[in-house]
Amino acid sequence: GYTIDNKMYPFEITKNNQVIEKTAANDKIVGSIEITKVDSKDAKKVLAGTEFTIFDSNKKEVAKAVTGKDGKVVFNNLAYGNYYYQETKASEGYTIDNKMYPFEITKNNQVIEKTAANDKIVGSIEITKVDSKDAKKVLAGTEFTIFDSNKKEVAKAVTDKDGKVVFNNLTYGNYYYQETKAPKGYTIDNKMYPFEITKNNQVIEKNSANDKIVGSIEITKVDSKDAKKVLAGTEFTIFDSNKKEVAKAVTGKDGKVVFNNLAYGNYYYQETKAPEGYTIDNKMYPFEIATNNQVIEKTAANEEIYKSTD
């Protein structure tokens, strides 16, 4: 544990039983360790801010320091003997390697060089898309986009038959998710929602709900010869695309009937009872609800029944 002084020192015996006394001093052997911290996937990328601790052979703390902007930390004046170095705080955004690594100082002015590598913290987000009125009804075909903290696009994907979409391998940091394409028949929620990856293998679970697209149809019934003459008491029926009855109602004194809350899709309207004194038009007329809060306006005309005076 000490340096050698190999200089030759002269002395002389000149008297009988002479005792010459000399004192010789040695320096302790001291050395150092230099640790460089890098990214495990890119050894050229050095990592500042990693804390390392040195322990002696009994695992008692000796020194502590943090890597600089060059990714390096140096511990000097370590006396001869056995030691351990350990990462005790990781660089921001990286996993910690808290294994204790042994090393030994055996020669004076020895410099031990070590390189330590860290993996980036990565996590994922799983988004489930459901109907806002029925959380058990999952919605496939919803496109979501992930943006980084600067709102730059990172990834894009579409929900599957289970209504889920998963974005993996998102590195440590702040993000946003946004619905960028709604499922068919639903309104879009284009708000950007923030989330953060802070732990390795973290899985963030989010639920997102959409409202169905709904619209309405307003039918006005008039006299075929006089469009200003509105006809009350006309019954209309709404049918879906399979011609199954959806709703039924009668025009009021203003000649109007309104069918609200019709979900996205294709329909038919049909006059199923004429006003008194008028012929019935029982043809089925198609219409479509395609946008939210859409109001379709239709005018239907009936011919008056004329009785013979003969």
CA distance to 36, 39, 94, per residue, from 86 (Å)? 13, 17, 15
pLDDT for 307: 55
87: tokens are 């990462």
- Reported for 224-229, long-range contacts at CB under 8 A and 24+ positions apart, including other chains, are 224/301, 224/302, 224/303, 224/304, 225/303, 225/304, 227/299, 227/301
pTM of the model: 0.81
Q: What is the pLDDT of residue 305?
A: 87
3-state secondary structure of 210: strand
In tens digits, the chain (310 residues) has pLDDT values of 999 999 999 999 999 999 999 999 999 999 999 999 999 999 999 999 999 999 999 999 999 999 999 999 999 999 999 999 999 999 999 999 999 999 999 999 999 999 999 999 999 999 999 999 999 999 999 999 999 999 999 999 999 999 999 999 999 999 999 999 999 999 999 999 999 999 999 999 999 999 999 999 999 999 999 999 999 999 999 999 999 999 999 999 999 999 999 999 999 999 999 999 999 999 999 999 999 999 999 999 999 886 555 5
Coil/strand/helix, residue 82: strand
The count of C-alpha atoms lying within 13 angstroms of the C-alpha of 81, restricted to the half-sphere facing its C-beta, is 13
Residue 107 to residue 78: CA distance in whole angstroms: 11
109 CB-near residues (< 8 Å, 6+ apart)? 30, 31
Tokens representing residue 51 in the block: 């804390």
